[in-house]
Amino acid sequence: MRKYAYLKDPVKSDQEYYIYKILLFHSNEGAYLFTYAAADAVQCSSDQWYESLEDLYDDWNDRIDERGWIELEDPLPDCQQDAFIPLRVKGRNLGKPEWGHFETLQDGQWIDYKPVEVRFYDEKDDSLFKFAVIIARTNGRWVFCKHKERETYEIPGGHREEGEEILDTAKRELEEETGALEYSLKPVCVYSVTAPDNFDGKETFGMIYTADITSFEEELHSEMERIIITDQLPDEWTYPMIQPKMIEEARRRGLF
């Protein structure tokens, strides 16, 4: 039996990330609890063993939201108990598992699975920060950038230069990509991204800021073609698996 639930309020885990969703798997031997670092996460970030389902309920029933426990079908043969989609270790069905490599069922075919995981932290060592991202607003409206070589939109941000303070990275990227002249910045939190096709699959860290922009340059002097100022979030994101979650996290922290 599998059931999942969303938490009323995110809970900080022992690994310092926030838990938004949980899933239980119950068997004759006891119960596993899987925890997830995002409401839409496909795979768990950690798990915990309980000797009984009652013990698990005692720990978590008061923390789940009004939707309660939602039943979930058992996984297909050889698939992961914690996954919300058909997901298995590559080669496991053949008795030759390639640990750390996964495949998922899509249109009746098993294909390589390449997950992207986004986590949020209150703090990390400054030396880990490789990026700064700035959720920008002006007069209560969103500010997004369109790159010259793309037809999608993104939150301003970019790489930290060698020897640069992360706050200075945020200022530089905001000015270059939006043409901001006068603005105020506030830190939101630390974020991380883990993706198999970036940095050899290692967790990489950056800092999120919010910006309230009060004046702009007339022209941009960067790789950005233009900015848009809008009341709505874009439908076409450059990084759809990452940046909408940043805005969601900033909202959760009461910044919008």
Reading the block at residue 190, the tokens are: 């630390």
246: Cβ–Cβ under 8 A, 6 or more apart, which residues? 118, 133, 135, 155, 188, 191, 208
CA distances from 178 to 157, 209, 217, 220, 256 (A): 10, 14, 8, 7, 20
Please, which pLDDT band fits residue 225 given cuts at 50, 70 and 90?
A: very high
168: Cβ–Cβ under 8 A, 6 or more apart, which residues? none
Reading the block at residue 155, the tokens are: 């939150």
pLDDT in tens, 153-168: 999 999 999 999 999 9
pLDDT in tens, 105-155: 988 999 988 778 899 999 999 999 999 999 999 999 999 999 998 889 999
Whether the CB-CB separation of 7 and 65 falls below 8 Å is answered with yes
Q: Which amino acid is at 176?
A: E
pLDDT in tens, 14-35: 877 789 899 999 988 889 999 9
Whether the CB-CB separation of 249 and 208 falls below 8 Å is answered with yes
Q: Which amino acid is at 136?
A: A
Whether the CB-CB separation of 232 and 141 falls below 8 Å is answered with no
pTM of the model: 0.68
Q: Is the pLDDT of residue 199 over 70?
A: yes
196: Cβ–Cβ under 8 A, 6 or more apart, which residues? 114, 115
CATH 3.90.79.10 assigned to domain 118-252? The reply is yes
The ranges assigned to domains in the chain are 2-115, 118-252
pLDDT in tens, 208-220: 999 999 999 998 8
pLDDT of residue 197: 65
Mean pLDDT for all residues in the chain: 92
pLDDT in tens, 57-105: 999 999 999 999 999 999 999 999 999 999 999 999 999 999 888 999 9
b/e sequence 37-49, b meaning 16+ C-beta within 10 Å: bbeebbbbbeebe
Calculate the CA 141 to chain-centre distance: 23
Residue entry with tokens 């490599």: 101
